Amino acid sequence: MSNRDFSELKKIIEINSWTKNKNGVDINGEIFGEWVEKLGLEKIVYQREDIGNHLHFISKKQDGKKLLLLGHLDTVFPPNSFENFREDKEWIYGAGVCDMKGGNYVALEALRETHKKYNKIYNIDFLLVSDEETGSDDSKLVSSKLAKNYDYCMVFEASGVNEEVVIARKGVGTFFIDIEGKASHAGNHYSDGADANLEASYKLQELVKLTNLDKGTTVNVGEITGGIGANTISPKAHLTFELRYTEIDEKDRVLKSIDDIVSKSFVNGTKSILSGGIQRDVMQPSKAQEDFIAEINKLCGVSLPTEKRGGVSDANIISSQGVITLDGFGPYGDGDHTINERASKKTFDSRIKLVSDIFSLLIEKKI
């Protein structure tokens, strides 16, 4: 149980921040920005026309390591679908309460604690993007470029059930194959056609064979469409599939095999075109990351549990730039992406304390 006042969190949760609702995302960002700017951070706005603006808050600088805090402003719920805030003794319920307005709030409260302690905040910047829930197609260009300015990154997606931090996330790519065949009458001219649906069936089987569960690699053909009717040899087909992987070598293996499958025609007279690509590269554990956790454990007097996740976040993007990255600094919650989304009140308190302690280590140049 927590005695914390969650009225500020309530205010932003009740604003619809669906990724495609630019106005709502920007209002959320403006309110949050006002809170952060009161702590002396300077706001840089990356203006966007069709999605919400990305916000980068810059702190004072001194010698020492530089830390990036990373969150996202958008949620997955369209207007009028899930916008209510409620709480009981143990939980808060609402859109984004764990994914990830609640995580952003943890970062904000930890920054406030740090400002109260030191009167200024040094070497800790905060990036809030607006399109994470749809793949960060726009913001990943900003994030990747900014990442090079930092030694560490802390991402505020929800923690694990035992308040684990996330040390690894699978890479993910989404791909499309468009197959062109040749239509003909299925009764009178069967042999004159080139069956795109049949070609798609062969390709589907070959794609699925690329899965290697022992190495954490999966290829899933999630959608298949094609044809125009039962009496016509199919002139076209379309496959949508996803690749997830835990190792760079596996990514390279599968990408080469995908090209081979696409270039080969199993059915004479068909041809195929591949589109799509890697959305977020893999976040892999590293010795530097392990050492960073060890320092936190020693200096903060804690023993951080860790976990690996199959899902992706913007931690993948920063980690792929060589920055020491840890994810899962938000509160524990569940039901994310559903109308049952909730976050544990007590974990707000424990997360804010942990994050504040890490900020102190950075400002005092102990890490």
Task: Determine how many CB atoms are found less than 10 A away from the CB of residue 248.
Answer: 13
Q: What is the mean pLDDT of residues 119-135?
A: 96
Q: Helices 345-363 and 101-118 sit at what angle, rounded to 10 degrees?
A: 40
Share of the chain above pLDDT 70, in %: 100
Regarding pTM above 0.75, the answer is yes
Confidence of residue 106 (pLDDT cuts 50, 70, 90): very high
Report the C-alpha gap between 101 and 16 in whole angstroms: 11
pLDDT at 1: 64
Q: What is the mean pLDDT of residues 340-356?
A: 97
CA-based torsion, 133, 135, 139, 143: positive or negative: positive
Q: Show the tokens assigned to 343.
A: 């976050």
pLDDT at 236: 98
pLDDT at 60: 95
Confidence of residue 298 (pLDDT cuts 50, 70, 90): very high
- In sequence order, the β-bridge partners of residue 86 are 93
Q: Are 239 and 177 in contact (CB under 8 A)?
A: yes
Give the distance, in angstroms, between the CA of residue 202 and the centroid of all CA atoms in the same chain. Answer: 32
Confidence of residue 254 (pLDDT cuts 50, 70, 90): very high
Angle at 236 between CA 231 and CA 237, to 5 degrees: 105
The percent helix, strand, coil of the chain (3-state, each to 5) is 35, 30, 40
pLDDT at 3: 84
pLDDT at 165: 98
Q: What is the mean pLDDT of the chain?
A: 97
Give the β-pairing of 218-226 and 236-245.
antiparallel
Domains identified in the chain and CATH numbers: 7-170+282-363 (3.40.630.10), 171-280 (3.30.70.360)
CA-closest candidate to residue 17, choices 55, 73, 70, 85? 73
Q: What are the tens digits of pLDDT across the range 154-198? A: 999 999 999 999 999 999 999 999 999 999 999 999 999 999 999
Q: Are 99 and 92 in contact (CB under 8 A)?
A: no
Q: Are 194 and 267 in contact (CB under 8 A)?
A: yes
Dihedral-angle region of residue 287 (phi above 0 means left; psi in -120 to 50 means alpha; beta otherwise)? alpha
Query: Per-residue pLDDT for 332 more than 80?
Result: yes
Q: What are the tens digits of pLDDT across the range 10-49? A: 999 999 999 999 999 999 999 999 999 999 999 999 999 9
Confidence of residue 2 (pLDDT cuts 50, 70, 90): confident
Q: Are 238 and 262 in contact (CB under 8 A)?
A: no
* DSSP H/E element including 173: strand 171-180
